[in-house]
Structure 1
Amino acid sequence: MAKKSMIARENKRAKLVARYAAKREALKKIISNPETEFADRMDAVDALNKLPRDGASVRQQNRCRITGRPHGVYRKFGLSRNVLRRMTMNGDVPGLRKASW
């Protein structure tokens, strides 16, 4: 089980990403547009740098929905490998079973 503070921090990051997503996207469009003047581009870069660092989506970490484990998480299920294996053995994941050959 992950520390509660780390799970709370990750939830805080998710809220910040949702709040600043539109603003970050608009600033990035201004920066990447080749027709934008240099001064406007630099203003957009400064505005982007002043936004909260945790508002960037790349700073989010995939975590297991049950235990909060940050490593070994399958995107399709949102579960860590340990929890996914346990749930598969119990038959809690429909359409998934242990391979045998």
Structure 2
Amino acid sequence: MSKESVKARQKKREKTVLKYEKKRKILKDSKSYELLQRLPRDASPVRLRNRCSITGRCRGYMRKFGISRIIFRDMVSQGLIPGVKKASW
């Protein structure tokens, strides 16, 4: 479980990216990089990190489900994810 401050920082970055999305696109298309550099650093989508929606864990993240591998395994074992079952051979 990651710290609440890390989760909050990530949420703040996501809001900032959405806020400046159109402006960044316009500045990139016009190739005015000097104005682009004046935008906040967190406005860049590169600074976002994939995190588990439940625990906030960043490693072992499964894009298709939006959760970490540990939570994924628990949810599959409980039958909470439809269409997925534990493999056994």
**TM-score per shorter chain, which class?**
over 0.9
Bigger proportion of residues as helix: 1
- From 25, 36, 48, the counterpart of 1:48: 36
Gaps of 5+ in 2: none
| Letter matched to residue 22 of structure 1 | K
Percent of pairs identical after alignment?
A: 49
Letter in 1 for 2:82: P
Q: Which residue of 2 aligns with 1:65?
A: 53
Q: Does 1:9 align with 2:27?
A: no
Match of 1:41? Answer: none
Taking structure 1 as the reference length, the TM-score comes to 0.86
- Following the alignment from structure 1 to structure 2, what is the Cα–Cα distance between the partners of residues 55 and 45? 14
Q: How does 1:13-28 map onto structure 2 within 5 Å?
A: 13-28=13-28
Q: Which runs of at least 4 in structure 1 moved beyond 3 Å after TM superposition?
A: none
83, 86, 89: which one pairs with 2:77?
89
State the Cα distance separating 1:46 from its structure 2 match.
1.0
Structure 1 unaligned spans of 5+: 32-43
* Structure possessing the higher radius of gyration over alpha carbons: 1
TM-score, length of structure 2 as denominator length = 0.97
Q: CA RMSD in A?
A: 0.6
Distance in 2 (alpha carbons) for counterparts of 1:74 and 1:82 = 10
For this pair of structures, how many residues does the alignment match? Answer: 89
- CA–CA separation in structure 2 for the residues paired with 1:2 and 1:21: 27
**Distance in 2 of aligned mates of 1:58 and 1:99:** 35
1:21 aligned partner, one-letter code: E
